[in-house]
Amino acid sequence: MAEAVEEWYKQMPIITRSYLTAAVVTTIGCSLEIISPYNLYLNPRLVVKHYQFWRLVTNFLYFRKMDLDFLFHMFFLARYCKLLEENSFRGRTADFFYMLLFGATVLTGIVLIGGMIPYVSESFAKIIFLSNSLTFMMVYVWSKQNPFIHMSFLGLFTFTAAYLPWVLLGFSVLVGASAWVDLLGMIAGHAYYFLEDVYPKMTGRRPLKTPFFIRSLFADDPVVVARPANVRFAAPPVEEAH
């Protein structure tokens, strides 16, 4: 059993493995009171006035209590982050990292701006950890890129992957969780999907092109398509002369 888990862990792509490890270690450390969540949560005043810039990162690593909700989000993180990195972003580790960076920036910006808007500022002030939102963003992006895959929810009903974020949002509401967290992830995910997949097809321009300095951090192996051996291709037909 231990060997199977170790093999499963080692086979994870680098970004998925790193993020999953950091999230589990951080959450367990807080549960054991080795780390204090008060040193991790997003606080704009402490970031700006006291230069505690690590909060811009650590608020994406803590998943609250180690309960059923934690297990659900670890499953989503391990599954959909891995699926994206191995399939949609295969051979493009830098692009995948840039997607997460874009999502984290959008989520942080929404919370900061929302905290300054009357009537909704109180709701945004309660969002101090964005880890669940970033996970939900990955689920949303995967669902948009694989909309026709058939899925089942707890064996109760089937649906296509395009509706997965809405099914999970409805489930969160049913169990009494805050819908704001999932909605933020959907907003960030749709912003990425539009700018990366829809807008370039409309205009021919790609606004989310990964910067060179990020590409230089990752040495991606080229994706090679193997050609079957001993396969001969017929010569193109010769046009008849008229």
**What's the CA gap between 10 and 7, in Å, rounded?**
5
Give 162's contacts (C-beta < 8 A, 6+ positions apart).
143, 144, 147, 148
Band (220; pLDDT cuts 50, 70, 90): low
Name the nearest CA neighbour of 97 among 5, 192, 170, 9.
192
Average pLDDT estimate for 203-226? 77
Token couple for 76: 């989503």
pLDDT at 239: 45
| pLDDT tens, position by position, 102-132 | 999 999 999 988 888 887 778 788 889 999 9
| pLDDT tens, position by position, 34-55 | 999 999 999 988 998 999 999 9
Please give the CATH topology (third level) of the domain spanning 1-217: Rhomboid-like fold (1.20.1540)
Domain chopping of the chain, boundaries: 1-217
pLDDT at 222: 52
pTM here is 0.84
Band (9; pLDDT cuts 50, 70, 90): confident
